[in-house]
């Protein structure tokens, strides 16, 4: 996990440096336009990120958050497969490269290729990567590609698809997941932590399993998700520190925000999913901690850990939403 910290700081510093030149008013207007566009009926037939100010706004407004969400998903993959490291990585719909930054922080030196149809996003991504001084990023290849019927992917170790499925039609989404499953040893899909983001993750999860991959995270198994459709949605939260520039562009004064996301990681190789994972914010009460868990053997269950549990109680007070329970396994 620590290996990723310098990347988070480098991303903040690089974004601040790059966006310094952008007048705050112009940045705020570009963010407003971006939000309006994203509120419109997606998917669209043409890129939403049309020019440099759109892309700069996206980078300032969203990139720190999508980076943190992918970073959490990759941490879960690393926990499930500590001995595995990708030599090659393809970031599909990679935009300005948030997922590629997260990958560069998680492993040393995978060769990254970023694919996107928006040339301005690729250009800014390339520029940010060049400024980072991080070898895996400066060496990354940024290539224009349209996700659609004609998408061909070269075999690769790792594929990331971060905050992209929402922008695609159902047919294209399904074809993309199938193509990714056929090309990669590990596929990481991340979406907003909303009911419809979760629905797209479940759809992707089903397709990845049908293609012969196994779920490495967040689920403890590759069986059907135990959440009854429409009653709840599995999602997690990543804390995003906000730079002054980020605060200026997004408004508000808090030094952080919490990005809610849903994800699935599936692998062709043997990984070790957790026995149980905390799927809601733990509730700390007087003398007890309530943990909502998704477990390998008992599906969804609530564990009440009290002071009488001693060591386990202390662990429960420290455990976070999204973590394995108990720490180190043996649920
Ligand atoms: C919300 S952004 C996410 C960017 C990046 N993956 C991240 O996590 O920050 C969605 C990206 O998908 C790209 N995209 C959407 N539809 C696409 C398509 N049909 N072909 C290629 N790229 C597409 C957009 O240009 C944009 O860069």
Which residue has the CA at smallest separation from atom 8 of ligand 1?
A: 162
Mutate to test the pocket of ligand 1, among 116, 146, 159 (most ligand atoms within 8 A of CB): 116
Residue 47 CA: which ligand 1 atom is closest?
25
Assign domain 8-267 to a CATH class: alpha beta
Our answer on whether the CB atom of 95 is closer than 6 Å to any ligand 1 atom is yes
pLDDT at res. 134: 92
Instruction: Output the average pLDDT for the chain.
Output: 90
Q: Which residue has the higher pLDDT, 36 or 106?
A: 106
Asked if 1 contacts 75 with a C-beta cutoff of 8 angstroms, the reply is yes
Our answer on whether the CB atom of 66 is closer than 6 Å to any ligand 1 atom is yes
Closest residue by Cα to residue 303 from 275, 274, 331: 331
Q: Where are the domains of the chain?
A: 8-267, 276-329
Which residue has the CA at smallest separation from atom 15 of ligand 1?
A: 167
Q: What is the pLDDT of residues 130-183, one digit of tens each?
A: 999 899 999 999 999 999 989 999 999 999 999 999 999 999 999 999 999 999
Which of 3-7, 10-14, 326-330 has the least mean pLDDT? 3-7
Question: Which are the contacts of 225, defined by CB distance < 8 A and separation ≥ 6?
Answer: 202, 205, 219, 234
């Amino acid at each position: 996990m620590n290996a990723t910290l310098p990347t988070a700081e480098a991303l903040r510093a690089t974004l601040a440096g790059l966006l310094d030149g952008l007048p705050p008013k112009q940045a705020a207007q570009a963010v407003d336009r971006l939000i309006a566009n994203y509120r419109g009926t997606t998917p669209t037939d043409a890129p939403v990120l049309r020019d440099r100010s759109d892309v700069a706004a996206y980078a300032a407004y969203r990139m720190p958050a999508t980076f943190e969400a992918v970073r959490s998903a990759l941490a879960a993959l690393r926990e499930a497969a500590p001995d595995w490291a990708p030599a090659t990585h393809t970031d599909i719909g990679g935009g300005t490269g948030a997922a590629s930054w997260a990958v560069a922080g998680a492993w040393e030196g995978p060769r990254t290729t970023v694919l996107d149809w928006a040339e301005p996003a690729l250009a800014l991504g390339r520029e940010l990567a060049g400024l980072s001084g991080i070898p895996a990023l400066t060496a990354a290849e940024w290539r224009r590609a349209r996700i659609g019927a004609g998408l061909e992917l070269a075999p690769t170790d790792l594929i990331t698809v971060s905050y992209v499925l929402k922008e695609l039609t159902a047919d294209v989404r399904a074809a993309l997941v199938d193509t990714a499953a056929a090309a990669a040893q590990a596929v990481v899909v991340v979406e907003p932590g909303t009911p419809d983001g979760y629905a797209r993750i479940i759809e992707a999860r089903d397709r990845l399993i049908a293609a012969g991959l196994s779920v490495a995270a967040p689920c403890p198994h590759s069986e059907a998700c135990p959440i009854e459709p429409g009653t709840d949605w599995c999602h997690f939260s990543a804390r995003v520190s906000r730079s002054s520039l980020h605060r200026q562009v997004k408004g508000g004064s808090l030094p952080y925000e919490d990005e809610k996301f849903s994800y699935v990681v599936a692998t062709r190789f043997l990984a070790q999913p957790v026995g149980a994972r905390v799927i809601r914010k733990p509730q700390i009460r007087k003398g007890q901690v309530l943990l909502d868990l998704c477990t390998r053997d008992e599906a969804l269950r609530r564990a009440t850990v009290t002071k009488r549990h001693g060591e386990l109680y202390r662990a429960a007070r420290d455990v976070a939403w999204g973590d394995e329970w108990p720490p180190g396994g043996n649920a």
